[in-house]
Structure 1
């Protein structure tokens, strides 16, 4: 069930603390067909006043802050269009809507006439898969389904057998996802695609572009990953807090961003077992999951790029600094901030 409740936010300088947005693949990209405009609350005060919304979308916390010049009618039109765009994209990428393009691909193994946005996002996912040598892999769905059904549905405390993990691994391999124009196909029966490690960033970027088209230029859009466009009217940067993996509601570090996006990946987003030994971030090459008390945050030009890169870096073991650096250097202009299980913050460099 989607929570459409909202509350006004006070105009304070306290940092916004994003939780890891790869939270629970069983909840990610779960969105009602449409969100009512009543879910948005406008602060209609002085000129260049902030319009603020906070609620739930895409199965995770979402928020929007944009400055407007008191033109309520234009703001309402922009917000209505933004909500419609979120719903439209969710109908492409959802794993939970039976008629989504992604669900059809996983069910039938082949789709034709895929929308331009679906082609674009899948293409970006496959590119990151190649750059990361398969650490980021959109064909991870069979492994995720195994872990979800075993721990969440089955209620087991011990991991699946090695045999079952190996069976799921045999169905994973990004090279088996074939994209040719508007046709997408899967090489083997039983394969499945998830875009959860990149789709929220993509939707944030799309909403940001749409709001720009409506004449807004100073905003922080967070439809799963936050993206800041321009500085605030007073010239100050947007402040984004990075949660402590040991206590995600507490900001351990802050970033000042302007015209950049930020994405955080951490196993603590969803722990599949009570002990936290198994998380939702699964390495497609080994079947092992990322640690529950570590995170990687990426600052990039777009939320799509930050989302995919943070997912990949979080799946490379922290001890393998050369591999992390090699991947980071394929993305010029990106920064990566790592937080370890002791709460130590370091920049990958």
Structure 2
């Protein structure tokens, strides 16, 4: 499996910082969130201590959402098909998932994990899934078979969830809420998706450049980008990682990348993912318009 996600979405290295006089220089912390590079940019005398708290919060949230930590809440749910007393954060993320699932007419569906695992397994052998393998994986897909309440999350045996199309944005939102509660502002959070608290310390919006061209100024707003071929299963980089739960097939590569902004990074993340499965710009606009304040910043054709 090959990945070009950082080159096809938003290049953190492409974020420009104007040279303006200020009391504190912009401090950059770097870490990892759900396997993606994470950064925090801020100008504050206690920047290192703030960054340490952010790193701890990201780690706490990975204990909920990670597919790589065996004891995470998500992994426990996938293993047992049931999770008692689920964390509030997981329930909140799944609630937003339901909203985007409905709005996208089923295109956004985290129960797609068995299908993704099927592609990943056979692609490691240089192959593509056979019809019977795809049919088996597709039989385990269906958001309507996941039941959530404050006391438990239950799904049918063999099903599994991936929140990779929303959790990175959700983590950015939670970090933003933590920092806002501390009275902080003028911070750019990047967990694979961007969330700006206020502006750059010089008073201008954070200038985020898109790999497909153009720039999005961020001021108290979030930005997410998805690319059908950002991660691929084949050596020729033609079989993308965004899979259609309705057909079992990868997204058609109509789009090089799609960028969506919103007040919430989780919402922007989910919408940009679902949008890759829509063939027309009008259809993408119609999806995003269902959520107040969200907008399409770029839909670069392949």
Q: TM-score, normalised by structure 1?
A: 0.77
Give the superposition deviation at 1:179. 0.5
Give the superposition deviation at 1:322. 4.4
Tell whether the 8 Å contact from 2:29 to 2:51 is kept in structure 1 after alignment: no
Which among 246, 256, 265 is matched to residue 226 of structure 2? 265
Alignment of 1:43-122 (within 5 A): 47-68=23-44, 70=45, 72=46, 75-122=47-94
> 2: distance between equivalents of 1:19 and 1:99?
32
Which among 170, 175, 182 is matched to residue 214 of structure 1? 182
Tell whether the 8 Å contact from 2:107 to 2:244 is kept in structure 1 after alignment: yes
Partner residue of 1:329?
A: 289
The structure 1 segments of at least 4 consecutive aligned residues displaced by more than 4 Å after TM superposition are none
Tell whether the 8 Å contact from 1:119 to 1:182 is kept in structure 2 after alignment: no
Q: TM-score, normalised by structure 2?
A: 0.89
Q: What count of residue pairs does the alignment treat as equivalent?
A: 285
Pairing 1:230–2:191 present? no
Partner residue of 1:30?
A: none
Tell whether the 8 Å contact from 1:64 to 1:221 is kept in structure 2 after alignment: yes
Pairing 1:303–2:284 present? no
Partner residue of 2:118?
A: 146
Partner residue of 1:167?
A: 136
Which among 275, 278, 281 is matched to residue 313 of structure 1? 275
Give the superposition deviation at 1:19. 4.8
> 1: distance between equivalents of 2:73 and 2:9?
25
Uncovered stretches (5+) of structure 2, i.e. residues with no partner: 1-5, 11-20
Tell whether the 8 Å contact from 1:299 to 1:306 is kept in structure 2 after alignment: yes
Please give the per-residue CA displacement for 1:206-239, whole angstroms capped at 9, x wherever unaligned.
Answer: 1112122333200110012111111223321111
Give the aligned CA root-mean-square deviation in angstroms: 1.9
> 1: distance between equivalents of 2:149 and 2:300?
39
The verdict on how the C-alpha distance between 1:143 and 1:236 changes in structure 2, with shifts beyond 3 A counting, is same
> 1: distance between equivalents of 2:170 and 2:194?
11
The verdict on how the C-alpha distance between 1:129 and 1:209 changes in structure 2, with shifts beyond 3 A counting, is same
Please give the per-residue CA displacement for 1:65-119, whole angstroms capped at 9, x wherever unaligned.
Answer: 1122x3x3xx333222211110111011111211111111111111111111111
Uncovered stretches (5+) of structure 1, i.e. residues with no partner: 1-16, 22-44, 245-251, 342-349
Tell whether the 8 Å contact from 1:239 to 1:257 is kept in structure 2 after alignment: yes
> 2: distance between equivalents of 1:240 and 1:322?
25
Partner residue of 1:255?
A: 216
